[in-house]
Structure 1
């Protein structure tokens, strides 16, 4: 068997279950590699420890950026105010804060390997895997640039809702970020609805569908692996895998071995936080 690749759902600062997962006898192997589906930090009680732990894995880990990771970057850049439920201040106050921020902003928004495309939230139906990687690279170049703080200033907003190849500037960057890090539901025409956070069963009047069920999705020929959607929970299909099982909301931290779909789950009761709806 090739060196195992463990694909891991949202951590959100739940450092104790992360450590337990990485010490699991099936996971803790010399050749093990790790793909993290984003939202490494925030809302959980150990954001700083979680970020340091993943960074310390070095080349063994691929860490996709999620919306909470981008929020940390925006707060650190002074263009977004912290929210009342954030748990990122300890990162900003840490002696290695600048090193951690620089490491985080150099992470990818998409990764493709062995027929699997990992992103944090979703992929618009017109995008192939290769186009997704190319568009992700456009945002990555902004985040890795000298003036990355300026590049994030217009990141927030819900428009535009539908992809066009001729989009430019902040509108282009914003819809790429929204799709890859925030999207859950779309219209059947592929228009993003960023107000939807419930499970697909709870959507109004059947007017919206999960992004992975939009007709004509161009990534059906690969397996898209994502997190972000704790109300959806664990979902395993040939063309789509959701690994967010609500660790920070008192659920579990889920890891799946790419090669054989072996699942390992670590309970995360100590992270339960009913004060806010999953985001």
Structure 2
């Protein structure tokens, strides 16, 4: 029963289908982890949502920043951006069931192991100042709100950069927003846990005093599967944690990549399909 992890789909439905075909993926036998950002930018966001939703228990998904943006737009919390490709979802007859399903997805998926060496998946990364147990608990805080009657009120105020630095005594919406930003928007972080939201390119774009989150050592040793950072092209030089970068920029003309999670970090097999056409 192979388990494959796939990076950001971002509406690249044709490539998603091609990758599943290349893997000979069978939902009756195999399992799929999807690292968030199922939608937006690409031309097939609605088809991606429908495809993943139809996989049922064969697919495990974490929420990415574009998925949360879709929920906020759909619930009227923010306006769509000119670059968004979400209209087909918002106008679809099955809109409600798809959005309700998406809103129930977690920020964190793991292999069920209690070990500090567990394999886990998040969209952007794991904040270095959090232990595994703290990170897991904080993911559950946001998930509980998104699945509650208070979800709409939080989506109304979810967008924003403040607070930029995590503090344990944060409360209310500030706390929830900081958790969401760490799990879904993080790239560069300072040693005290302050996030930078401006630099989005490669490693050489790090602002002074900031470094990629995966270059900070951890006391625990999880295997961290993540997406979000297309400019890395799946490479994480200087990493001081066991991590796998899966966003290889399909929506920007790159590739869509799957990783065979049943193999160890050194021998993990990557399978990619090219973008069908530059976006």
TM-score normalized by structure 2?
0.91
Residues 158 and 173 of structure 2 are in contact (CA less than 8 Å); yes or no, is this contact kept in structure 1?
yes
Contact kept, 8 Å, 2:129 with 2:192, in 1: the verdict is no
Find the aligned partners of 2:27 and 2:43 in 1 and give their Cα distance. Answer: 27
1:213 corresponds to which of 204, 212, 215: 215
Q: 1:198 aligns with which of 191, 196, 201?
A: 201
Question: In 2, distance between residues paired with 1:90 and 1:20?
Answer: 22
Equivalent residue of 2:156, what SS?
coil
The equivalent residue for 1:277 is none
Distance across 2 between alignment mates of 1:59 and 1:33: 8
Cα deviation digits, residues 89-119 of structure 1 (max 9, x gap): 1001000000000000000111111521110
Alignment of 1:26-41 (within 5 A): 26-28=24-26, 30-41=28-39
Match of 1:276 in 2: none
Matched-pair contact (CA < 8 Å) for 2:15–2:276 = no
> What is the number of residues matched between the two proteins?
267
Following superposition, which runs of at least 4 residues in structure 1 exceed 6 angstroms of deviation? none
Q: Which runs of 5+ in 2 are unaligned?
A: none
* 1:169 partnered with 2:172: yes
* 2:163 maps to 1:160: yes
Report the Cα offset of residue 153 of structure 1. 1.4
| Aligned with 2:272 (options 233, 244, 265) | 265
The offset of 1:202, in angstroms, is 2.7
Q: Provide Cα deviations, 1:25-65, integer angstroms capped at 9, x if missing partner.
A: 44347421000000000000000001000000000100110
What displacement does 1:203 show? Answer: 2.5
Alignment partner for residue 149 of structure 1, among 142, 149, 152? 152
Summarize the Cα distance change of 1:239–1:25 in structure 2 as closer, same or farther, 3 Å threshold: closer
Find the counterpart in structure 2 of residue 83 from structure 1. Answer: 81
Distance between the aligned counterparts of 2:251 and 2:165, measured in 1?
31
Tell me if the contact between 1:112 and 1:129 (Cα under 8 Å) persists in the aligned partners. Answer: no
Once the two structures are superposed, residues 194-253 of structure 1 have per-residue CA deviations (whole angstroms, 9 ceiling, x without a partner) of 111011123245x32001113x435x5111110000001213666111100000000000
- For the 8 Å contact 1:199–1:231, the answer to whether it is kept is yes
Task: Give the corresponding residue for 1:10.
Answer: 8
Distance 2:70 2:218 in 1: 31
The residue aligned with 2:184 is 181
Q: TM-score if structure 1 supplies the norm length? A: 0.91
RMSD: 1.6
Shift, 1:146, TM fit: 2.0
Any stretches of 5+ residues in structure 1 without a counterpart? Answer: 274-279
TM-superposed CA distance for 1:5, in Å, is: 0.8
Match of 2:233 in 1: 233
